[in-house]
Structure 1
């Protein structure tokens, strides 16, 4: 009886993440026809079609999507077996979408290196809402806003206020604070993985124009170029200062909850230590902020 093999899983994951048989073949170091044969072999083993093929695109069927997510987890388990057999510790991969832990980031990274030198920490930015968790690229990640995903455990860390992000020279760039109503004349930039949508504004009082960009770099570049404005979490001002951009307090923008998230099953052995460290640093930072007077505005950062 045929069984699912590691080569099947590698081919399915590569095809899903690269998007074409050609790119999957390059990633795996095999021929395009070999990738196609491997996918057909996997479909024969599971008894259903996993990939819809057209002359221009490749898309997963609903069953293919489920198999992809399971394959990611299975390959992570295989890596864990190999690590155990070779008595080696795999690096802990920390993922985030755009601004990690904000002002706490450097402290966490330096303390991890000092206190947990036996486990290397890799930091990766992924333009994905879950910071790379679903694709198995991260062992633990920062997510912002309401987040619920099967098989993922979350821990709320803190909440941070929203800021308006304006180009230098904007009519409101010199203000100490602004309201959502002040921004309705502007074009608003959003990303697929961000926390800002036009629903942030009251119905009937929303900006008439919005544009979608693919990543944080494009978002900052277009705002600095005067093409649009943005709304973001406070940590973005710390993580992504830009000479062409001004961050201004948004008085009625509400707050964004910040969470740590990680797979509930087969979590990296060092996740618990990392979560404990992040919580300690976050708690100390929150206590310090509460006891110190705030100087200046977000726009002066």
Structure 2
């Protein structure tokens, strides 16, 4: 097996079709199909289900996708000439990072660790790219169920409602879940923490607008198509003239955690980041 087998599989997984993947890789479709079969033969499992009109990954394929992505990310890092002088610490986050504590964290890091660049990367993914090897450590909200991760609780964030600025809801000083139930709810299905389970079973909203990132979420609310629920950190990093944020009095807070992969050599600066994050959080409370 060679790296080209992993790159071929990941391209197929991203494109969802052999034809598009072959065009992206600038190779013929038969050659790409042979490469995929070689990989499946080596692993002894079927990675791609070809029985449906739309190509889909099997359960084994979905598991292997993360492993392959992490392996290629490690190779790319090892072959990056910059890593010979300073190995950056990559901090992933799917939406508002550390809220209004983000800038203090970055400034403190630059002061205390000038030889180790801290790269903040927004990746709209449930683990902010952590399981795929795109980052070394991640700021995650809500329950973390991905296997093989170590987590450290930083704080609990209060939930707030995000409503169109010109709506009747914006006239209230605070809101409840029942106040929002009559509106369609914007739900980020990729990295959000809002689900219908927040509401009692008999009083759940009847409509939802599914979005895949924070920008789509903000647009749906600003346009008056939906309301949303988020954490207090969002209003600091994503202020919008057409959106009003109001305290949500009856929704449980959201845990904010630092997470990193276990079982693999972690970046040596991860313990320093964990310590500094706790200090920044404590200083702002």
Relative to structure 1, the CA distance from residue 261 to residue 23 in structure 2 (aligned partners, 3 Å threshold; closer, same or farther) is farther
Relative to structure 1, the CA distance from residue 90 to residue 59 in structure 2 (aligned partners, 3 Å threshold; closer, same or farther) is farther
Matched, 1:121 2:118: yes
Name the residue aligned to 2:98.
101
Query: Equivalents in 2 of 1:219, 1:196: separation in Å?
Result: 12
Name the residue aligned to 1:204.
202
Give the Å deviation of 1:103. Answer: 0.9
State whether residues 49 and 58 of structure 2, in contact with CA within 8 Å, keep that contact through their aligned partners in structure 1.
yes
Name the residue aligned to 1:285.
284
State whether residues 70 and 134 of structure 2, in contact with CA within 8 Å, keep that contact through their aligned partners in structure 1.
no
SS in 2 for 1:166: strand
Relative to structure 1, the CA distance from residue 271 to residue 25 in structure 2 (aligned partners, 3 Å threshold; closer, same or farther) is farther
State whether residues 153 and 261 of structure 1, in contact with CA within 8 Å, keep that contact through their aligned partners in structure 2.
yes
Query: Equivalents in 2 of 1:86, 1:97: separation in Å?
Result: 25
Name the residue aligned to 2:68.
71
Give the Å deviation of 1:110. Answer: 2.0
Query: Equivalents in 1 of 2:154, 2:215: separation in Å?
Result: 26
Give the Å deviation of 1:229. Answer: 0.6
State whether residues 92 and 120 of structure 1, in contact with CA within 8 Å, keep that contact through their aligned partners in structure 2.
yes
Matched, 1:272 2:271: yes
Query: Equivalents in 2 of 1:123, 1:31: separation in Å?
Result: 38
When normalised by structure 1's length, the TM-score is 0.85
Number of residue pairs the alignment of both structures matches: 283
Give the Å deviation of 1:248. Answer: 0.4
Once the two structures are superposed, what CA deviation does each residue of 1:54-83 show, in whole Å capped at 9, x if it has no partner? 574322222222322322333344346546
Relative to structure 1, the CA distance from residue 177 to residue 90 in structure 2 (aligned partners, 3 Å threshold; closer, same or farther) is same
Name the residue aligned to 2:181.
184
Relative to structure 1, the CA distance from residue 11 to residue 269 in structure 2 (aligned partners, 3 Å threshold; closer, same or farther) is farther
State whether residues 83 and 90 of structure 1, in contact with CA within 8 Å, keep that contact through their aligned partners in structure 2.
no
Once the two structures are superposed, what CA deviation does each residue of 1:4-31 show, in whole Å capped at 9, x if it has no partner? 3222222223322343335544665655
Relative to structure 1, the CA distance from residue 89 to residue 163 in structure 2 (aligned partners, 3 Å threshold; closer, same or farther) is same
Name the residue aligned to 1:133.
130
Query: What is the root-mean-square deviation of aligned Cα atoms in Å?
Result: 2.3
Once the two structures are superposed, what CA deviation does each residue of 1:209-234 show, in whole Å capped at 9, x if it has no partner? 22211221111111111111111111
Query: Equivalents in 2 of 1:51, 1:246: separation in Å?
Result: 45
**Greater Cα shift, 60-69 or 237-246:** 60-69
